[in-house]
Amino acid sequence: PTLPYDDQNIFAKILRGEIPCTKVYEDEWAFAFLDINPQAPEHILVVPKGPYVSWDDFSLTASAEEIAGFIRAVGKIAREKGLVEPGYRAIANIGPNSGQLVPHLHVHICGGRPLGRMIP
Ligand code: 5GP
């Protein structure tokens, strides 16, 4: 089972404007900002505005509207950044084995260089 949502997590504070970030996009469903420790020339984090720990509770309990809005935002940001033609990677870490550090769902958009294969 997914942990209860901790509204003191760092991305909740970023969403509330309590901690600064370099914002790249915002709409009704999603908020996006640059990763503080980029792993690629383009490394954007996209978070849903609702209180979801990870993909697990999001996929289970978010409304169809929230899910669609969030996924559309991820695609839109990548298109607006010109990442589609060269290609990019969108990933979410879920739980301990993934190394997820921040307990608010975030999709990493990474691009701007060849990323190598993750699944050989
Ligand atoms: P995770 O390992 O949970 O999938 O990824 C967390 C990501 O958040 C890491 O890539 C890390 O660099 C980034 N991060 C952690 N703290 C902050 C912060 O305060 N601001 C920003 N912009 N990114 C952060």
Contact assessment for residue 25 and residue 31, using Cβ atoms and an 8 Å cutoff: yes
Rounded to the nearest angstrom, the distance between the alpha carbon of 10 and the centre of ligand 1 is: 8
Q: Which residue has the tokens 């942990």?
A: 3
pLDDT tens digits, one per residue of 9-21: 999 999 999 999 9
pTM: 0.97
Q: CATH 3.30.428.10: does it fit domain 10-111?
A: yes
- For residue 108, indicate whether it is catalytic: no
Phi, psi (rounded to 5 degrees) for 61: -120, -15
Pocket test for ligand 1, best of 3, 8, 10 (most atoms within 8 A of CB): 10
pLDDT exceeds cutoff 90 at 113: yes
pLDDT exceeds cutoff 80 at 1: no
Contact assessment for residue 48 and residue 70, using Cβ atoms and an 8 Å cutoff: yes
Phi, psi (rounded to 5 degrees) for 46: -115, 125
**91 within ligand 1 shell (Cβ under 6 A):** no
DSSP 96: G
pLDDT band for position 43 (cuts 50, 70, 90): very high
**37 within ligand 1 shell (Cβ under 6 A):** yes
Domains of the chain, by residue range, sit at 10-111
pLDDT band for position 82 (cuts 50, 70, 90): very high
Selection from 90, 110, 117, 89 nearest residue 39 by Cα = 110
